[in-house]
């Protein structure tokens, strides 16, 4: 097996995730796309771990999984809060940063 087949798969997933983050309006869907991005990164880490015969990459992947769990928890809490305040989770409407 080539190293690149994993890395390219990860790259494709990453870009699809980026596309999702950029075009989706629903907050939950944006979070899902972020999960996709994180998973792509994880594939890279594990692939390099196997390539270098070094276990550190897997450990980092595990850490990322844990952090992702935290991120989803807080992210969904924020989405819920937005929904409660605005009756909508359209991220396009959350534009309080507008100058």
Partner 1 sequence: MFAAEEVSWLFRNVWLIPALPALSFVLILFFGKRLPFKGAEIGIASVVVAFSLAVLTTFAWIGNIQSAESHSEEAIFLEGPDGEQTPIVLTAEEAGEARGAPIITEVEWFSIGPDANKVILGTEGNSDAGHDEDGHSDDEDEDGHSDDEDAGHDDDEEEGAGFGGDDNVVDVAFAEDGGTVAEAHGDRFSISIGTLVDGQSVMMLFVVTFISLLVHVYSTDYVKGDRRFTHYFAFLSLFTSAMLFMVLSTSTMQLIVGWELVGVCSFALIGHWWEEKANSDAALKAFLTNRVGDIGLLIGMSILYFAAGRTFSIPRINELAVNGTIPKGTLTIAAVCLMAAVMSKSGQFILHTWLPDAMAGPTPVSALIHAATMVVAGVYMIGRLYPVFFIGFGIAGSSINLMAFIGGLTTVGGGALAFVQKDIKKVLAYSTVSQLGYMVLALGMGAYTAGMFHLFTHAFFKACLFLGAGSVSHACHHSFDMKADMGGLRKYMPKTFWTFMIGSGALAGIPPLAGFWSKDEILVGAGVWPNTGGNGTYYLPFVFGMITAAMTAAYMARTIWLTFFGEYRGHDEPHESGARITTPLIILAGMAVVVGFLNMPSGFVKFFGAPEGLAHRFEDWVEPAGVSTFVTSDNGFTHAKPSLSLAIVATLLALTAGGAVVAYYRALYAKDSKATEYTDGVMSRIPGLRAGHKFLEEKYYLDHLYTGAIAGGTKGPLARATDWFNQNVLDGIVNGVGKLSVGLGNFIYNIIDQKAIDGVVNGSGNSASGAGQFLRGMQTGQVRQYATLMFGATAVVAAIFIFAV
Partner 2 sequence: MMALLAQQTEAVIETAWIPNAFFFVIAAVMVLAALKMVSTKNVVHAALYLLIVLSGVAAVYIFLGAEFAAATQILVYLGAIMVLLLFGVMLTRAKLGAETDLDHDQRWIGALVGASLLAVMSYSLWDAFGGDKLPADPTPQDAPTGVKNTQLVADEIFSTYLVSFEVLSVLLLAALIGAVVVARRD
Binding residues among 48-77 for partner 2 as defined by CB under 8 A? 49-51, 53-56, 58-59, 61-63, 65-74, 76-77
C-alpha span between 28 and 92 (Å, rounded): 13
Whether the CB-CB separation of 93 and 26 falls below 8 Å is answered with no
> What residue 99 binds from partner 1, partner 2, none (CB within 5 to 8 A, per partner kind)?
partner 1
DSSP string covering 68-90: HHHHHHHHHHHHHHHHHHHS--B
Report, in Å, the least distance between residue 21 CB and partner 1.
6
Interacting residues toward partner 1 by CB under 8 A: 18, 21-23, 91-92, 94-99
């Amino acid at each position: 097996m080539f190293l690149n087949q994993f890395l390219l798969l990860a790259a494709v997933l990453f870009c699809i995730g980026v596309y999702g983050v950029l075009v989706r309006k629903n907050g939950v869907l944006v979070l899902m796309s972020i999960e996709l991005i994180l998973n792509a990164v994880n594939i890279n880490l594990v692939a390099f771990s196997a390539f270098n015969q070094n276990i550190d990459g897997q450990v980092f992947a595990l850490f990322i999984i844990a952090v992702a769990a935290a991120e989803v928890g807080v992210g969904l809490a924020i989405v819920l809060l937005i929904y409660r305040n605005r009756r909508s989770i359209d991220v396009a409407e959350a534009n309080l940063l507008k100058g």
